[in-house]
DNA sequence: CTCCTCAATACCCTACAGGTATCATCGAGA
DNA sequence: TCTCGATGATACCTGTAGGGTATTGAGGAG
């Protein structure tokens, strides 16, 4: 079996299809914007390479042989596939096609993240977004190992190889059980929190939201009474319902509607009484999909402002 | 959308796949038996044509981008398809793959033709043989219109544009009803036929088997009594069973077993007491499948001899 | 027999794939 | 900190092959 396709290239196929369709080398040459003799030569060369007679030459023009008919189908397929491949590669290069692996934290995917993902999905419907629940430390590890391209978290600090982009900033509310003494007040002074046991979250890599809360208390001159540390906001609110005490949560946690738990605003709060939600990604990641995603993040943040 | 694939050819794909697999331009170049700089240039040119960054250059080598990964799959597909297309075209060019349209006569496909078709099918299993039942005149018309590539018939005469190849030659037998007077003899003298009505076939384009029989009778000095003309041997034998008289048939018609009908050999026969089965095809038909078929016919005929 | 329409051939020219030599960059060790 | 080694990129040259023009050859149609 002669391996004859070494020197066959797409030009040959393009020319071949044109000749097969026009059944006339002169017309085909005109259609291809070349002159007749080189086209004749290319067809001869193709037949030579394949070792197959593709056309029978008649006084009226070129007529496909049976082998030619078969090869015509294949040639059209190949050309269509090439067309499709370039188009898909281009779309992928523009970040319009592909896959984005995203790290998210805890079981609490609250407010901003779903909205953001929805906005991204609308703008880039052919990018498959895959969510991975992982802690902050796992996100950083996964980013470095390229298992994810972007992670969402709070209290992120820039690193040498990882960059941060803020998504949104939120105030804090107090989750209390409706029969808790503090629940009687429509607004609670921040300093009052020192007299009540608190549930804190999340466990795991520091600094995290825990440190934010402890820092805020320190700014107000006290140390919180920690009744329990839990993994995420949802668990925290569940413990509040169970009577473990109060719990400071970001605004968006109000989407966690729990029977017997109310959310109360705070007054006399220290400065910086808010917490950021940011995303983190590799500085050297040139992926157009990540660029598109970060662009969507920027637009989202601007819309919020 | 930039239509950028105009100058992309299979060489680009081959080079791209090599680099993607080696993740190193130098090694890929060695594998391709070219030097490193042209390979670098070809990859750059491919990226330029597509408008897509396919690799991220690292100090350790070339790493596929997401778009590159996607394009790699497509490139492999395309290359496999090209491989397959050339191979199929080559097989078609050798007559090993394709379709052969064959014209056969009457409802009587007897002995030689099934054997021949079976032999051809065994030698060329990927050639689809399509049978078309048609008269001699229809076969000639269909050959000229390229609707069939070869026809089978008896009493064929060469034409300007059509060639003949003999398949086999057969003797003649007499089909008689078992209660017919002639059936009593184990062998019948040819001249006796003048006293008995005969069924003749086929109707349609002349000269045909009818003329053969009439000619044989003339050679023996008489004119046959024609009781009925019918379309084909099977019908003829059926009429013999129905009492319409006797019927001269080729040897192979004995495969038509009819209750109450016997076949008897003849003695004192005139010269040329046999009939040929031939096939007819276009002289200018260069199809390798036809060539393969005619070759099979030749082998069959030689085996018979 | 002549003209007309095809494809095929002869010959030239230029563009570009491929070669050699060299440079730029970035890590890894000494 | 500096050098060395590996990698890809660049500069420049050369030969081949793809494309152009002019012409020939070969069948049909009138």
Q: Which CATH code fits A5-93? A: 1.10.10.10
B207-230 confidence digits (pLDDT tens): 888 999 999 999 989 999 999 999
Q: Do B85 and A71 touch (CB under 8 A)?
A: yes
Confirm or reject contact between B79 and chain A (CB < 8 A). Answer: no
Phi, psi values for residue B125, rounded to 5°: -65, -20
CB B224 within 8 A of CB B81: no
Least Cα distance to A229 among A251, A197, A259 occurs for: A197
Least confident of A47-61, A158-172, A250-264, B96-110: B96-110
A198 falls in which pLDDT band (50, 70, 90)?
Answer: very high
Least Cα distance to A183 among A281, A83, A262, A101 occurs for: A262
Letter string b/e over residues A218-235, b meaning 16 or more CB atoms within 10 A of that residue's CB: eebeeebeebbbbbbbbb
The residue of chain B with its CA nearest to that of A289 is B66
The domain ranges of chain B are 5-93, 100-166+279-304, 168-275
Confirm or reject contact between B80 and chain A (CB < 8 A). Answer: no
Least Cα distance to B2 among A93, A213, A124, A266 occurs for: A93
C-alpha B201, offset from chain centre: 26
Distance CA B112, CA B106 (A): 14
Q: In three state form, how does the secondary structure of chain B look?
A: CCCCHHHCCHHHHHHHHHHHHHCCHHHHHHHHCCCHHHHHHHHHHHHHHHCCCCEEEECCEEEECHHHHHHHHHHHHHHHHHHHHHHHHHHHHCCCCEEEEEEECCCCCCCHHHHHHHHHHHHCCCEEEEEEECCHHHHHHHHHCCCCCEEEEECCCCCCCEEEEEEEEEEEEEEEECCCHHHHCCCEEHHHHHHCEEEECCCCCCCCHHHHHHHHHHHCCCCCEEEEECCCHHHHHHHHHCCCCEEEEEHHHHHCCCCCEEEECEECCCCCCEEEEEEEEECCCCCHHHHHHHHHHHHHHHHHC
Q: Which CATH code fits A98-166+276-304? A: 3.40.190.10
Distance CA B14, CA A9 (A): 11
Confirm or reject contact between B290 and chain A (CB < 8 A). Answer: no
Q: Does residue A6 carry a pLDDT above 80?
A: no
CATH number 3.40.50.720 given to B100-166+279-304: no
Mean pLDDT, rounded, for A170-186: 94
Q: Which two tokens stand for residue A27?
A: 């017309």
DSSP secondary-structure letter at A57?
E
CB A291 within 8 A of CB A94: no
- Which alpha helices (DSSP H) does A94-135 contain, by range? 112-123
Hits for CB < 7 Å against strand C across B residues 10-29: 11
Nucleic strand C under 7 Å from the C-beta of B45: yes
Distance CA A19, CA A21 (A): 5
Distance CA A167, CA A169 (A): 7
Integer distance in angstroms from CA A93 to C1' C24?
27
C-alpha B60, offset from chain centre: 59
Closest chain A C-alpha to B84 CA, distance in angstroms: 9
Letter string b/e over residues B93-128, b meaning 16 or more CB atoms within 10 A of that residue's CB: bbbbbbebbbbbbbebbbbbbeebbeebeeebeebe
Q: Do A90 and B52 touch (CB under 8 A)?
A: yes
Nucleic strand D under 7 Å from the C-beta of B36: yes
Q: Does residue A204 carry a pLDDT above 80?
A: no
Q: Do A86 and B288 touch (CB under 8 A)?
A: no
CA–C1' nearest nucleotide, residue A33: D19
Integer distance in angstroms from CA A25 to C1' C4?
17
Q: Does residue A277 carry a pLDDT above 60?
A: yes
A108 falls in which pLDDT band (50, 70, 90)?
Answer: low
Residues 119-178 of B with CB under 8 A from A: none
Q: Do A74 and B89 touch (CB under 8 A)?
A: yes
> What are the beta bridge partners of residue B173?
B249
A206-252 confidence digits (pLDDT tens): 788 999 999 999 999 999 999 999 988 999 999 999 999 999 999 98
B187 CB neighbour count, 10 Å cutoff? 10
- Which alpha helices (DSSP H) does chain A contain, by range? 10-22, 25-32, 36-50, 66-93, 112-123, 136-144, 209-219, 233-241, 288-304
Integer distance in angstroms from CA B38 to C1' D14?
14
Handedness of CA A209, A210, A216, A218 (dihedral sign): negative
Distance CA A20, CA A15 (A): 9
Letter string b/e over residues B262-301, b meaning 16 or more CB atoms within 10 A of that residue's CB: bbbebeebeeebebbbbbbbbeebebbbbebbbebbeebb
A287 to chain B: which residues are within 8 Å by CB? 65-66
Integer distance in angstroms from CA A120 to C1' C24?
40
Nucleic strand C under 7 Å from the C-beta of A194: no
Radius of gyration of chain B, Cα coordinates, nearest whole angstrom: 32
A63 CB neighbour count, 10 Å cutoff? 13
Share of chain A above pLDDT 70, in %: 97
Interface A-B: count of C-beta contacts within 8 A = 127
Mean pLDDT, rounded, for A4-12: 80
Helix, coil or strand: residue A249 = strand
**In CATH, which superfamily holds the domain spanning B168-275?**
Periplasmic binding protein-like II (3.40.190.10)
Phi, psi values for residue B282, rounded to 5°: -75, 130
Handedness of CA A65, A70, A74, A76 (dihedral sign): positive
Q: Does residue A163 carry a pLDDT above 60?
A: yes
Helix, coil or strand: residue A156 = coil
Please, which positions of strand D sit below 7 A from a protein CB? 5-12, 18-22, 26-28
A168-275 has the same fold as A98-166+276-304: yes
pLDDT of residue A109: 65
Report the mean per-residue pLDDT for chain A: 91
Q: Does residue A118 carry a pLDDT above 50?
A: yes
CB B246 within 8 A of CB B175: yes
pLDDT of residue A1: 42
**Block means of pLDDT (10 residues each) for chain B, length 305 residues?**
66 95 94 93 92 91 93 94 93 94 80 92 96 91 91 88 92 95 93 94 84 91 93 91 94 89 94 92 90 96 87
pLDDT of residue A130: 95
Tell me how far apart the terminal alpha carbons of chain B are, to the nearest angstrom.
69
Integer distance in angstroms from CA A59 to C1' D26?
8
Nucleic strand C under 7 Å from the C-beta of B59: yes
A15-56 confidence digits (pLDDT tens): 999 999 999 999 999 999 999 999 999 999 999 989 999 999
């Amino acid at each position: 079996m002669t391996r004859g396709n070494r020197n066959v290239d797409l030009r040959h196929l393009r020319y071949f299809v044109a000749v097969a369709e026009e059944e006339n080398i002169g017309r085909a040459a005109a259609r291809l914007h070349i002159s007749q003799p080189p086209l004749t030569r290319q067809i001869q060369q193709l037949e030579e390479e394949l070792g197959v007679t593709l056309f029978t030459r008649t006084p009226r023009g070129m007529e496909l042989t049976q082998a030619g008919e078969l090869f015509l189908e294949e040639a059209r397929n190949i050309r269509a596939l090439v067309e499709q491949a370039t188009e898909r590669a281009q779309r992928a290069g523009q970040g319009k096609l592909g896959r984005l692996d995203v790290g998210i934290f805890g079981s609490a995917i609250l407010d901003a993240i779903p909205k953001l993902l929805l906005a991204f999905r609308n703008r880039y419907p052919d990018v498959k977004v895959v969510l991975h629940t992982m802690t902050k430390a796992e996100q950083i590890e996964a980013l470095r190992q390229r298992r994810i391209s972007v992670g969402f978290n709070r209290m992120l600090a820039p690193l040498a190889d990882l960059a941060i982009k803020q998504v949104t900033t939120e105030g804090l509310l107090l989750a209390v059980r409706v029969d808790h003494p503090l629940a009687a007040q429509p607004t609670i002074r921040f300093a009052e929190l020192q007299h009540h046991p608190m549930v804190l979250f999340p466990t795991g890599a520091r600094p995290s939201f825990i440190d934010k809360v402890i820092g805020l208390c320190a700014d107000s001159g006290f140390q919180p009474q920690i009744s329990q540390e839990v993994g995420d906001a949802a668990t925290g609110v569940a413990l509040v319902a169970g009577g473990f005490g109060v719990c400071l949560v970001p605004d968006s946690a109000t989407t966690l509607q729990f029977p017997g738990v109310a959310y109360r605003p705070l007054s006399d709060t220290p400065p910086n009484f808010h917490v950021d939600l940011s995303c983190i990604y590799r500085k050297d990641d040139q992926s157009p999909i990540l660029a598109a995603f970060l662009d969507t993040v920027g637009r989202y943040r601007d819309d919020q402002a």
